[in-house]
Amino acid sequence: MNNQEDNKKDDFIFGIRAVIEAIRFGKDFDKVMIKRGLKGDLIKELMDELNLNDIPFQYVPEEKLNRVSRKNHQGVIAFISPITFYNLENTIADIFEKGEVPFLLMFDGISDVRNFGAMVRTAECAGVHAIIIPEKGAARIGSDAVKTSAGALHKMPICRVSELKKTIDYIQLSGIRIFGATEKASENYYANNFNEPTCIVMGSEDVGLSNEVMRKCDYLIKIPIIGKIQSLNVSVAAAILMYDVVRQRITNF
């Protein structure tokens, strides 16, 4: 795909001062790319704004910036998010205040945009209250993700957090149990009671749950595999687990 096609598809801002002003104006960003080795007072001002507003950023070679745009980007390109991110603490509090049983979904390293969008779509249909994603290592939330989700990204609260381990601690302290989906589990998913406050964690497409997240989970669950391939697409696996929560809550287990 050439640069012109990329530019039509992706909504971004370039230039240090332009990005700073957009942040102060309250724009939501998916991520910001900064040229490696960039220095100066203006870049320090930008970094202060990024850190203050918890906006993910990464240092990249100039060639990567030029693949996005060859205009005078001054070493900084920021991708605008098509959605507004939700605060997790406020979201959990709202669920309890409504008298509902929390049903959360967490992504640990889901990087494929199509899988991401498909899971968001299923989550919205299944009544998931919110999806939690990390700042780093997550699929980019752009037009492709919105399209794949069939618009569900505009309806599903997405909570972006800086660190999954600390987030899991907070969720557990809120009285919500963490179920990690992994083929390494000894217990099948349907043996668990999802009528209690529940958060299901799905791992990355290639390696599954990270070890640090796996150790934090209250329970590890698996989907039994009868065939020879021994693995399911992550969006399919997520759909199976989410709809068992639906089944149990409709039938009271």
pLDDT of residue 1: 38
Of 33, 59, 80, the one marking the end of a domain is 80
Q: Is residue 142 domain-shared with residue 193, that is, in the same domain?
A: yes
pLDDT of residue 69: 85
pTM for the predicted model, two decimal places: 0.86
Q: Is residue 223 domain-shared with residue 146, that is, in the same domain?
A: yes
Q: Is residue 236 domain-shared with residue 180, that is, in the same domain?
A: yes
User: Do 55 and 20 meet the contact criterion of CB atoms below 8 Å apart?
Assistant: no
DSSP letter for each residue of 51-69: HHTT--EEEE-HHHHHHH-
- Digits of tens for pLDDT over the chain (253 positions)? 344 434 444 588 999 999 999 999 988 898 899 999 999 999 999 999 999 988 889 999 999 999 988 888 999 999 988 999 999 999 999 999 999 999 999 999 999 999 999 999 999 999 999 999 998 888 888 888 999 999 999 999 999 999 999 999 999 999 999 999 999 999 999 999 999 999 999 999 888 999 999 999 999 999 999 998 888 999 999 999 999 999 999 987 6
pLDDT of residue 86: 95
pLDDT of residue 136: 85
Of 147, 144, 167, 161, which Cα lies nearest the Cα of 217?
167
Q: Is residue 51 domain-shared with residue 134, that is, in the same domain?
A: no
Residue span of the structural domain in which 156 resides: 88-251
Q: Is residue 117 domain-shared with residue 232, that is, in the same domain?
A: yes
CA distances from 76 to 61, 82, 152, 154 (A): 11, 19, 30, 27
pLDDT of residue 10: 55
Q: Determine whether 94 is exposed, middle or buried from the number of CB atoms within 10 Å of its CB (0-12, 13-18, 19+).
A: middle
The sheet carrying 198-203 orders its strands as 158-161, 130-134, 103-108, 198-203, 177-181, 219-222, 187-188
Of 56, 80, 104, the one marking the end of a domain is 80
Q: How many CB atoms lie within 10 A of CB 228?
A: 5
pLDDT of residue 64: 92
68: CATH: 3.30.1330.30
Q: Is residue 71 domain-shared with residue 137, that is, in the same domain?
A: no
What's the CA gap between 81 and 212, in Å, rounded?
28
- Give the count of domains, the chain: 2
User: Do 48 and 98 meet the contact criterion of CB atoms below 8 Å apart?
Assistant: no
pLDDT of residue 3: 44
Q: Is residue 59 domain-shared with residue 94, that is, in the same domain?
A: no
Q: Is residue 235 domain-shared with residue 145, that is, in the same domain?
A: yes
pLDDT of residue 71: 85
Q: Is residue 111 domain-shared with residue 161, that is, in the same domain?
A: yes
Q: Is residue 68 domain-shared with residue 95, that is, in the same domain?
A: no
187: CATH: 3.40.1280.10
Q: Which residues touch 229 (CB under 8 Å, ≥6 apart)?
A: none
Q: How many CA atoms lie within 13 A of 96 on its CB side?
A: 13
Q: Is residue 142 domain-shared with residue 49, that is, in the same domain?
A: no
pLDDT of residue 253: 65
What's the CA gap between 168 and 178, in Å, rounded?
8
Of 80, 97, 116, the one marking the end of a domain is 80
